[in-house]
Homo-oligomer: A and B are copies of this chain.
Amino acid sequence: MFDILHRIGVTSSPEAVYDALTTIDGLAGWWTEDTTGDSEVGGVARFRFLPGGFDMKVLETKPAERVLWEVVDGPEEWIGTQVRFELKQEDDCTIVLFRHLGWREPVEFMYHCSTKWASYLLSLKKYVETGTGDPAPRDVQISNWH
Protein backbone atom coordinates (compact mmCIF):
# COMPACT_ATOMS: atom_id res chain seq x y z
CA MET A 1 0.00 0.00 0.00
CA PHE A 2 1.16 3.54 -0.78
CA ASP A 3 0.24 6.75 1.03
CA ILE A 4 0.28 10.46 0.26
CA LEU A 5 1.56 12.55 3.19
CA HIS A 6 1.47 16.31 3.81
CA ARG A 7 2.02 18.73 6.69
CA ILE A 8 0.91 22.36 6.92
CA GLY A 9 0.70 24.83 9.78
CA VAL A 10 -2.32 27.12 10.04
CA THR A 11 -2.08 30.27 12.14
CA SER A 12 -5.35 29.70 14.01
CA SER A 13 -6.93 27.47 16.63
CA PRO A 14 -7.43 23.72 16.07
CA GLU A 15 -11.18 24.40 16.43
CA ALA A 16 -11.19 26.73 13.40
CA VAL A 17 -9.34 24.15 11.27
CA TYR A 18 -11.65 21.41 12.52
CA ASP A 19 -14.69 23.46 11.46
CA ALA A 20 -13.22 23.83 7.97
CA LEU A 21 -12.92 20.02 7.80
CA THR A 22 -16.31 19.07 9.25
CA THR A 23 -18.88 21.51 7.87
CA ILE A 24 -20.20 21.68 4.31
CA ASP A 25 -19.57 25.44 4.19
CA GLY A 26 -16.05 25.00 5.52
CA LEU A 27 -15.19 22.24 3.04
CA ALA A 28 -16.60 24.33 0.18
CA GLY A 29 -14.31 27.16 1.24
CA TRP A 30 -11.08 25.37 0.37
CA TRP A 31 -11.63 22.10 -1.56
CA THR A 32 -14.51 22.52 -3.99
CA GLU A 33 -17.37 24.98 -4.06
CA ASP A 34 -19.61 22.10 -5.17
CA THR A 35 -19.73 20.32 -1.80
CA THR A 36 -22.99 18.80 -0.57
CA GLY A 37 -24.25 15.98 1.62
CA ASP A 38 -23.71 15.15 5.26
CA SER A 39 -20.37 15.83 6.96
CA GLU A 40 -21.32 14.17 10.28
CA VAL A 41 -20.08 10.73 11.33
CA GLY A 42 -21.92 8.07 9.32
CA GLY A 43 -22.92 10.58 6.64
CA VAL A 44 -21.56 10.87 3.11
CA ALA A 45 -20.18 14.18 1.88
CA ARG A 46 -20.10 14.72 -1.89
CA PHE A 47 -17.33 16.71 -3.55
CA ARG A 48 -17.69 17.55 -7.24
CA PHE A 49 -15.17 18.96 -9.70
CA LEU A 50 -15.42 19.62 -13.42
CA PRO A 51 -14.11 16.16 -14.40
CA GLY A 52 -15.95 14.19 -11.68
CA GLY A 53 -15.79 13.87 -7.94
CA PHE A 54 -15.54 11.90 -4.73
CA ASP A 55 -18.03 10.64 -2.15
CA MET A 56 -16.55 10.37 1.32
CA LYS A 57 -18.11 8.44 4.16
CA VAL A 58 -17.24 10.17 7.42
CA LEU A 59 -15.82 7.40 9.63
CA GLU A 60 -14.57 9.39 12.59
CA THR A 61 -14.46 12.95 13.92
CA LYS A 62 -12.86 14.04 17.16
CA PRO A 63 -13.25 17.78 17.79
CA ALA A 64 -10.04 19.74 17.24
CA GLU A 65 -8.06 16.50 16.80
CA ARG A 66 -9.01 14.19 13.97
CA VAL A 67 -11.18 13.63 10.89
CA LEU A 68 -11.25 10.33 8.99
CA TRP A 69 -13.05 9.63 5.72
CA GLU A 70 -13.41 6.58 3.50
CA VAL A 71 -13.83 7.01 -0.23
CA VAL A 72 -17.06 5.25 -1.22
CA ASP A 73 -17.41 6.58 -4.77
CA GLY A 74 -15.13 8.26 -7.29
CA PRO A 75 -12.21 7.20 -9.50
CA GLU A 76 -11.45 3.50 -9.21
CA GLU A 77 -7.99 4.17 -7.71
CA TRP A 78 -9.59 6.11 -4.84
CA ILE A 79 -12.36 3.72 -3.83
CA GLY A 80 -11.59 2.07 -0.49
CA THR A 81 -8.75 4.47 0.32
CA GLN A 82 -8.96 6.67 3.41
CA VAL A 83 -8.26 10.35 3.98
CA ARG A 84 -7.12 11.37 7.45
CA PHE A 85 -6.51 14.78 8.98
CA GLU A 86 -4.80 14.94 12.39
CA LEU A 87 -4.59 18.28 14.20
CA LYS A 88 -2.31 19.46 16.97
CA GLN A 89 -1.19 22.79 18.38
CA GLU A 90 2.46 23.78 18.04
CA ASP A 91 4.02 27.22 18.50
CA ASP A 92 1.30 29.67 17.45
CA CYS A 93 -0.31 27.45 14.89
CA THR A 94 -2.37 24.34 14.25
CA ILE A 95 -0.41 21.61 12.52
CA VAL A 96 -2.41 19.49 10.07
CA LEU A 97 -0.93 16.06 9.37
CA PHE A 98 -2.67 14.80 6.26
CA ARG A 99 -2.57 11.23 4.98
CA HIS A 100 -4.36 9.73 1.98
CA LEU A 101 -3.91 6.05 2.83
CA GLY A 102 -4.12 2.79 1.00
CA TRP A 103 -3.36 3.42 -2.67
CA ARG A 104 -2.85 -0.02 -4.23
CA GLU A 105 -0.21 1.12 -6.75
CA PRO A 106 1.87 4.30 -7.19
CA VAL A 107 0.19 5.07 -10.53
CA GLU A 108 0.72 8.38 -12.33
CA PHE A 109 -2.66 9.59 -11.02
CA MET A 110 -1.28 9.21 -7.48
CA TYR A 111 1.63 11.52 -8.35
CA HIS A 112 -0.93 14.07 -9.60
CA CYS A 113 -3.20 13.74 -6.56
CA SER A 114 -0.25 14.22 -4.19
CA THR A 115 0.66 17.59 -5.71
CA LYS A 116 -3.00 18.57 -5.97
CA TRP A 117 -3.62 17.72 -2.29
CA ALA A 118 -0.68 19.98 -1.36
CA SER A 119 -2.22 22.85 -3.25
CA TYR A 120 -5.66 22.24 -1.67
CA LEU A 121 -4.10 22.09 1.81
CA LEU A 122 -2.45 25.47 1.17
CA SER A 123 -5.95 26.61 0.16
CA LEU A 124 -7.25 25.29 3.53
CA LYS A 125 -4.52 27.30 5.30
CA LYS A 126 -5.43 30.43 3.36
CA TYR A 127 -9.16 29.92 3.92
CA VAL A 128 -8.85 29.56 7.68
CA GLU A 129 -6.34 32.41 8.01
CA THR A 130 -8.00 34.93 5.69
CA GLY A 131 -11.58 33.76 5.07
CA THR A 132 -10.91 33.11 1.37
CA GLY A 133 -9.43 29.90 -0.06
CA ASP A 134 -8.83 28.69 -3.61
CA PRO A 135 -11.40 25.88 -3.98
CA ALA A 136 -12.35 24.35 -7.34
CA PRO A 137 -13.24 25.69 -9.85
CA ARG A 138 -10.90 28.55 -8.82
CA ASP A 139 -8.11 26.16 -7.78
CA VAL A 140 -4.43 26.37 -8.74
CA GLN A 141 -3.81 24.61 -12.07
CA ILE A 142 -0.76 22.37 -11.80
CA SER A 143 -0.73 20.55 -15.17
CA ASN A 144 -2.73 19.39 -18.20
CA TRP A 145 -4.74 17.31 -15.70
CA HIS A 146 -5.65 20.58 -13.89
Contact = CB atoms under 8 A, between A and B. Distances in A.
Contact of A91 (B91, B114, B119, B144): B144
A83 to B, nearest CB: 14
Interface in A90-133: 90-93, 95, 97-99, 106, 108, 110-112, 114-115, 118-119, 121-122, 125
A115 B4 contact: no
B144 A6 contact: no
A6 B97 CA distance: 18
A65 to B, nearest CB: 16
Given A93-B144, A97-B108, A143-B8, A121 B115 contact: yes
B114 A114 contact: yes
B111 A143 contact: no
A2 interface: yes
Copies of this chain per assembly: 2
Given A118-B118, A119-B118, A121-B115, A5 B110 contact: yes
Nearest to A146: B9
A111 B91 contact: no
A2 to B, nearest CB: 7
A37 to B, nearest CB: 27
Interface string A1-26: 01111111100000000000000000
A139 to B, nearest CB: 12
